[in-house]
Amino acid sequence: MNSYDVIIVGAGSVGVPTALALGEKGVSTLVVDKKPSPGQGENKHAIGGIRATHSDPAKIITCLRSLESFSTWAERFGDQIEWVKGGYTFPVYRDADAVLLKGMLPTQKEYGLNIDFVGPKTIQTIIPGVNPEGLIGGTFSPDDGSASPLLAISAFYRKSLELGVQFRFKEQIREIRVKNGRVQGVATDSVNYEAPVVVDAAGAYSTDLCQTVDVNIPVVPESHEAGITEPVEPFFTSMVVDIRPMPGSKNYYFYQNQLGQVIFCLTPEPPIVGTDTRETSVFLPQISARMVELIPRLRNLRVRRVWRGLYPMSADGSPLVGWNREVSGLLHAAGMCGQGFMLGPGLGEVIARMIRQETTEKDQIVLEAFSPYREFAVEEALK
Amino acid sequence: MPYRDTSQECTGCLNCVAICPGLATTLVDYRKNKDLPTVTLPYELWRESVEVGQPVPVTDKDGAILGHFPVQKIRVKKKYPKTLLVQIQMNKKFAKKAVGIRVLEPQIEPSTIYEKEPLPDEAVICRCERVTAGEIRTALRNGVRDMNHLKAITRSGMGSCGSKTCRPMIWRIFQEEGIDPGQVTDRVDRPLFVEVPLGYFAGIKEGERHE
């Protein structure tokens, strides 16, 4: 039988948790992906940070729910996903950054985020060896954390299978099938799958997918590079985000995972637009200089591997989630702007409630902010 | 390093044959007999098994036997006493192809030195991350067909070596499990291939303090 209630395109950071949320509600669901196994697109390029430290209430709400899911996964289902509740730290060296971060605190606290601006002494305790020169302080949100994207998606996948969700891998979707303005399903080169609802969770490839039904999704892929070191004795647990701009880069961030490896990533400036994910020779000199300047003792830590992944960017740094107004039954869950891993579980539940028409008041806040038909006027401060 | 003085004619002193640690030099001497030159081949192992008058199989660079030729003379240079210089006379057609002698008959076949039994479950396949054959087998039996997925859930191939050792062994387990190789997706390799300190990329020289 090739007939389902819902077809999700993309077995990645958003598609798999959405499938899981639908499976939990007993909705018959099929996930189709062109890759050979779950999480082989951009999910595995994520470094694993999970924060509710955003400026936008919709992201705070969504990620608080994600954090609950990640942090309790091992005790609920037994899979180890390397969850570490290490918090997020934004060390501050410039007055302007202090003003920016302090300005967000009231909204962040209003929506339930545990966060405060702390002094330089506290920052030095959280990040041992941090450069003290000019350190003003910074924000610390202790309930944020990190997990392994590789293990997390495998765990979500395993649980989804258990709940009866079906997956088809190595299948490239040729088009979304539409009749009289209503979604009928999807077509691959060899087979048609039927469903009244199609969820676009194709990440960086959403634009291509939606163009098959003449829908233009304003998502432009950019790429960021990341790297990982050898494992060493754990000496800090927080994600460290340095938001100072430097020639060639905006912010960069890193943390030490449960195994003791330091994982790091940098936002290039100007952005590198496109879907090329080959490693570059400029990334390591750039980020190493910045990391070693911030924490001099990192200079002896050896880099093991680097990679580059895509950030499907929207105009304002927030995702596009909502029903399409022209094609009935097409549900967008795209343009995660590099935050698919942390938004995934929370968003998956919202999407499942949309499909079941059970959305809550909080969901409405999220869906209004993430609407594909919004104005794209205000830019997310911590994208 | 010894070098050949090209301003002088070769005197046939044989030092070049004796000195090469890779036994890669042979000397073909046409001076006494143009059609049946004397070929000098270096030899170091099982020295006692080479005797004057004994016919020995002479091989080319691929190990193929050019023919059996009686040993004419065995010489040893005082300065390089461990290398026997085995001299034979060969037809000029083959003389330049000779690179060695085969003293022992082949005793092992490649097929006999590879294990035929499946690796035991407790055998460590990925040495960097200490992943066993059993763990890999379990994943394959649960349906894993993508080496990248296998890496994600077992960490096999995620260590410092970048899967230089475990990749072929994992392929072997796929085969032992009867899985069609056409169904298997190979792993994605990424740099770096050796681990390098962050300080090196940051431009800090060895021993320099950065405070």
Q: Tens digit of pLDDT for each residue in B113-154?
A: 677 788 999 999 999 999 999 999 999 999 999 999 999 999
For residue A168, what pLDDT is reported? 97
d(CA A204, CA A10): 10
Q: Do the chains contact at B199 and A150, CB–CB below 8 Å? A: no
CB contact under 8 A, B201 and A306: no
Question: Which residues in chain A are closer than 8 Å to B152, comparing Cβ atoms?
Answer: 39, 44, 150-151, 153-154
- Verify that B161 and B92 share a domain, yes or no: no
Q: Is the peptide bond before A319 cis (omega within 30 degrees of 0)?
A: no
Torsion on CA atoms B99, B101, B105, B108, rounded to nearest 10: -30
What rounded mean pLDDT belongs to chain A? 96
* pLDDT (tens digit per residue) in A294-339: 999 999 999 999 999 999 999 999 999 999 999 999 999 999 999 9
How far, in Å, CA of A367 to CA of A377, rounded?
16
B199: contact with A, CB 8 A cutoff: yes
List of chain A residues whose C-beta atoms are within 8 Å of the C-beta of residue B163: none
Residue B96: C-alpha distances to residues A284, B66, B71, B73, B92 (Å): 52, 11, 17, 19, 7
Calculate the dihedral angle through the C-alpha atoms of A114, A117, A120, A125, rounding to the nearest 10 degrees. 0
Mean pLDDT to the nearest integer, A225-244: 97
The band of A236, judged by pLDDT with boundaries at 50, 70 and 90, is very high
Phi, then psi, of A44 in degrees rounded to 5: -75, -10
In a domain, B68, yes or no: yes
Write phi, then psi, for B185 (nearest 5 degrees): -95, 130
Q: Where are the beta strands (DSSP E) in A257-352?
A: 261-268, 272-273, 302-313, 320-323, 330-334
| Pairing between β-strand A166-168 and β-strand A29-32 as defined by DSSP bridges | parallel
B197 domain residue, yes or no: yes
> What is the Cα–Cα distance from A197 to A7, expressed in whole angstroms?
6
On chain A, the residues whose CB falls within 8 A of the CB of B146 are 35-37, 40
**Domain co-membership, B27 together with B90:** yes
Same domain flag for B169 and B127: yes
- Residue B211 confidence (pLDDT): 45
Kindly list the residues from chain A whose CB atom is less than 8 angstroms away from the CB atom of residue B199: 288, 292, 298-300
User: Is B152 contained in some domain?
Assistant: yes
Per-residue DSSP letter, A176: E
Please compute the mean of the pLDDT values over residues A106-133 and round it to a whole number: 98
B181, B174 contact by CB (below 8 A): yes
Rounded Cα–Cα distance for residues A255 and A257 (Å): 6
Q: Distance (Å) from the C-alpha of residue B146 to the closest C-alpha of chain A?
A: 6
The residue from B40, B67, B101 where one domain ends is B101
User: Where does a domain end: B101, B129, B151?
Assistant: B101
Number of residue pairs across A and B with CB atoms under 8 Å?
Answer: 91
- Please tell me which residue of chain A has the smallest CA distance to B154: A151
Domain assignment present for B209: no
Query: Which domain covers residue B43, as residue numbers?
Result: 15-101
| CATH number of residue B186's parent domain | 1.10.10
User: Which candidate in B198, B205, B208 is best for mutational testing of the A interface (most A CBs within 10 A)?
Assistant: B198
Is the domain of B170 the same as that of B125? Answer: yes
Evaluate if residue A231 carries a pLDDT over 70.
yes
Which residue among B152, B160, B204 places its CB closest to the CB of A292?
A: B204
Residues 62-121 of B with CB under 8 A from A: none
Share of chain A above pLDDT 90, in %: 97
Closest CA relative to residue A240, chosen from A122, A117, A123: A123
Q: Which of B153, B195, B204 sits opposite A151 (nearest CB)?
A: B153
Is B80 inside any structural domain?
yes
Which is nearest to A248 in space by CA: A220, A276, A277, A288? A288
B160 domain residue, yes or no:
yes
List, for residues B149-180, the tens digit of each pLDDT value: 999 999 999 999 999 889 999 999 999 999 99
Confidence of residue B204 (pLDDT cuts 50, 70, 90): confident
Q: Which tokens belong to B41?
A: 């081949």
Give all domains of chain A, ordered by start, each with its CATH number: 6-49+150-218+316-369 (3.50.50.60), 85-143+220-313 (3.30.9.10)
Residues B30 and B83 in one domain: yes
Whether residue B25 is found in the same domain as residue B82: yes
Residue B82 and residue B119 in one domain: no
pLDDT at residue B1 in the model: 52
Taking the CA atoms of A36, A39, A41 and A45 in sequence, report the sign of the dihedral they define.
negative
Which residue from A minimizes the CA distance to B183? A36
DSSP per residue, B17-35: HHH-TT----EEE-SS-SS
* pLDDT higher than threshold 70 for residue A376: yes
Q: Smallest CA–CA separation between A288 and chain B, in Å?
A: 5
Top residue of A257, A288, A341 to mutate, by most chain B CBs within 10 Å, is A288
Q: Please compute the mean of the pLDDT values over residues A222-235 and round it to a whole number.
A: 97
Cβ contacts of B206 on chain A, cutoff 8 Å: none
* B176's tokens: 């032992």
Looking at the domain assignment, is residue B77 inside a domain?
Answer: yes
Of the three residues B67, B101, B135, the one that is the final residue of a domain is: B101
Question: Using 50, 70 and 90 to split pLDDT, how confident is the model at A1?
Answer: low
Asked whether the beta carbons of residue B192 and residue A298 sit closer than 8 angstroms, the reply is no
Residue B166 and residue B83 share a domain? no
Q: Are residues B30 and B90 in the same domain?
A: yes
Q: What percent of chain B has pLDDT over 90?
A: 71
CA distance A269 to A382: 15
Q: Hey, are the CB atoms on B210 and A284 less than 8 Å from each other?
A: no
Say yes or no for a CB contact (<8 Å) between A302 and B153.
Answer: no
Whether residue B58 is contained in a domain is answered as yes
The residue of chain A with its CA nearest to that of B151 is A150
Report the pLDDT value the prediction gives residue B210, as an integer from 0 to 100.
47
pLDDT over 50 (residue A371): yes
Instruction: Based on the fold, state whether residues B42 and B118 are members of the same structural domain.
Output: no
Question: pLDDT tens, A164-200?
Answer: 999 999 999 999 999 999 999 999 989 999 999 999 9
CATH of the domain at B96: 2.40.30
Subunit contact B198:A288, Cβ cutoff 8 A: yes
Q: Is A203 left (phi over 0), alpha (psi -120 to 50) or beta?
A: left
Please check whether residues B91 and B149 belong to one and the same domain. Answer: no
Give the pLDDT score at A380.
67
Instruction: Give the CA dihedral A138, A139, A141, A145, nearest 10 degrees.
Output: -60
Q: In which band, very low, low, confident or very high, does the pLDDT at A274 lie, cut at 50, 70 and 90? A: very high
CB atoms B191 and A285 under 8 Å:
no
What is the number of structural domains in chain B?
A: 2
B199 and B116, same structural domain? Answer: yes
